[in-house]
Each structure stands twice: as C-alpha cells, then as structure tokens.
Chains A and B, each alone.
Chain A
C-alpha cells in the first residue's frame, strides 16, 4: 500500500530535550515536506527536500532541522524544543515532477506537546 508513515504519533516532552520525528514514504517520491498545523493558520511548510541531500527552508523553519540521506526518509529534528513548537506535524511527499501538477500525500500526523 502506497503511504507516508510517521513516528511517533503522539509525543509529550519537556523544553530543551532533543527529539526526532521520523517520516518514511514508499512511493519513490522525489519531493518531501514537513508542515505544522495550528488552529486558524492551516498548514505551514517548515522544510522541504527536492531530492537526497537537497533540503531548504519553508515558511516557518526556525527551531527545526531536517536531513535527507535516503530518498524514502525525511526526519524532522527539534534540537531544543520550546512550548511554541507544540503543534500537529505532518510529513508529505509528492512525485516532484515540474512538468505536471503533483498531488501531495500526507502522513497521519504527529501531535507534539512541549511542556
């Protein structure tokens, strides 16, 4: 089954304790993104990657890091989480073909609470 998986689904942590949220897709997609969802603000892109070893900032990158060492995986790293990073996080992937319009496939989400 074609899908995007995220782990963990729920996480409660404390300020300053480094954490990683994993994301994996099995569709051989080139383009992967991380979004955060907050009430009234919709989803906002944090970071994206157009291919292995190619990453760039989205609209709200402060406090986050990413890496893309393999095509299928795109982990999100919070080196020193703060309470304002409490949010619902989604990983997404898409084919990345600029010759056509690409549907984005979203993972199930990770609800993060930083105390």
Chain B
C-alpha cells in the first residue's frame, strides 16, 4: 500500500501555464514534506519543502500548498517554462528527512 499517493502521472502544459501536482498521505506522523525534481539521466534533487505548521511556501516560481486536515499537499509551478520539463516527486518523512516515502512521480512537459 502506497503511503503517499501522487497524481496525475503525467501533465502537458503550454509555456506560461500552471501545472499542479497533488499528493495525499495517510501517516499522520509525517512531519516533513519535500518535493524533488528529476531530469532524465540524473538523480532527484530537492526543489522545495514544507512542514505541516505552514499552509503555503513559495520559492521563486514554485509554490507548495499544504492542507493538514485533509492530509494533502500540492505543487504549483507558476509561469512554467520548457526548462521545467522534468519528473516531480512528492515525498514525506517522519524521521527529520532521513527516510523518505515517495509518491509515484509526475512527468511534466512544458511545450514552448
């Protein structure tokens, strides 16, 4: 049973559009929710992370929204660019980020 469920599996948007990726979790002991970005042939790299005492966090064009009561969180990519085309993984951790439970991933394609 996947503890972190991610949707959609893939997403195509035009340049300037706002891809939105959603994740839901079951384990209420999770206390750290990072998003990782992965380009083809590379390992995942941390993009942005949030703790459950905050409802929203922005870093540049990337925004995480967090709904603790619904046990859901999402990633928005504002003014998306072709260079944002990548696979995005949400994750959750109850061990200070040392052990991550990942969602299934979303492949995002931003068309010029």
Contacts and interface: CB of A to CB of B under 8 A. Distances in A.
B44 interface: yes
A86 to B, nearest CB: 18
Tell me what chain B mostly uses at the interface: helix, strand, loop, or mixed.
Answer: loop
Contacts of A107: 43
A57 B15 CA distance: 43
Contacts, number: 70
A48 B97 CA distance: 13
Interface string B73-86: 00000000000000
Interface residues of B, number: 28
A42 B104 contact: yes
A11 B36 CA distance: 25
A99 B97 CA distance: 11
Interface string A76-115: 0000000000000010101011111111101111000000
Interface of B: 2, 4, 6, 9, 32, 34, 36, 41-46, 49, 51, 89, 93, 95-105
